[in-house]
Amino acid sequence: MHEYPRILYLGTPGISSFVLEGLISAGYNVVGVLAQPDKEVGRKRILEEVPTKKVALKHNIPVFQPAKVRLDYQFAQELQPDLIICFAYGQIIPQGLLDIPHLGALNLHGSLLPQYRGASPMQMALINDDKVTGITLMQMIDKMDAGLMYAKKEITIDDKDNFTSLAEKMKVAALHLLLESLPLYLDEKLPGIAQNEDEVTFAGLIKREQEHLDIRQPKSKIIGWVRALSEEPGAYLLWKDQIIKMLEVEAINDQVEAPIGTIIQANKNGLFIQVSDGQLEIKRLQMAGKRPMTSKEFVNGRQGLEGEIWL
């Protein structure tokens, strides 16, 4: 094993900051962190540092946050990294940046490639009710998630998993995979396997308007979307122009006895809603500006919910 290379780490959210912290703790020489710009959060619009930036600053590592990295990566020329490692950065990396490190650029992608290339692989696995997903350590090239595959680790998806719980599993698997594979990669013992282009599927970026649940879909798809968007940003329905986020729903039966979106039952025994092929129980939900609550808490003190339409 030769000297630890100079690593430029690319990543933004909490899932990525966990891997960054683990990489630093393992003794690797991270010389810079590239992250998305800081964002305003909450109703008060307070500017908050992104999670990877917090980790980098704690370890006195310089942070770079260009609005458009394809137009602004001069900092990397000056850093002269030997290797790029990326996990959930959030922008397309220009070829000019990928060309800088002589040891190449590695990406941790949240699926078992070539399945679910793109921005939302974990969400798509939940929407499709997959039972297994995983993480792939791969080569970064100028085509999205299309490079050589170096190593994979499988993750079981439980029926109760949502995006939040799956991300917890994913970050642990990603760190293990990286720390297991990096020494082999640096010693040129991971040759890489080309992806079968015939097996490629895509998981595009989920747009804001897709957070509004299509209640006309079958039960299984509604459950999938709720799982994929919980706990944040939350899939929602509208009731009297109020946004109500659905955080956990469960299929109850196949009965169709009212128009789609009708609240069938709202009492201490449950909150049921009619969909196209049966009824769902809404187990946890959240109103705008309020904390998440159980359906029992929501129903308590609210009269006349039965017969209301949520769409």
| Domains identified in the chain and CATH numbers | 6-199 (3.40.50.170), 208-299 (3.10.25.10)
- pLDDT (tens place) for every residue of the chain, 311 residues total: 457 899 999 999 999 999 999 999 999 999 999 999 998 887 788 999 999 999 999 999 999 999 999 999 999 999 999 999 999 999 999 999 999 999 999 999 999 999 999 999 999 999 999 999 999 999 999 889 999 999 999 999 999 999 999 999 999 999 999 999 999 999 999 999 999 999 999 999 999 999 999 999 999 999 999 999 999 999 999 999 999 999 999 999 999 999 999 999 999 899 999 999 999 999 999 998 899 999 999 999 888 899 999 99
Following DSSP, what letter does each residue of the chain receive, concatenated? --PPPEEEEE--SHHHHHHHHHHHHTT-EEEEEE-PPPEEETTTTEEE--HHHHHHHHTT--EE--S-GGG--HHHHHH--SEEEESS--SPPPHHHHTS-TT-EEEEESSSTTTTBSS-HHHHHHHTT-SEEEEEEEE--SSTT-S-EEEEEEEEPPTT--HHHHHHHHHHHHHHHHHHHHHHHHTT----B---GGG--B-PPPPGGGGB--TTS-HHHHHHHHHHHTTTT-EEEEETTEEEEEEEEEEEE----S-TTBEEEEETTEEEEEETTEEEEEEEEEETTS--EEHHHHHTT----TT-B--
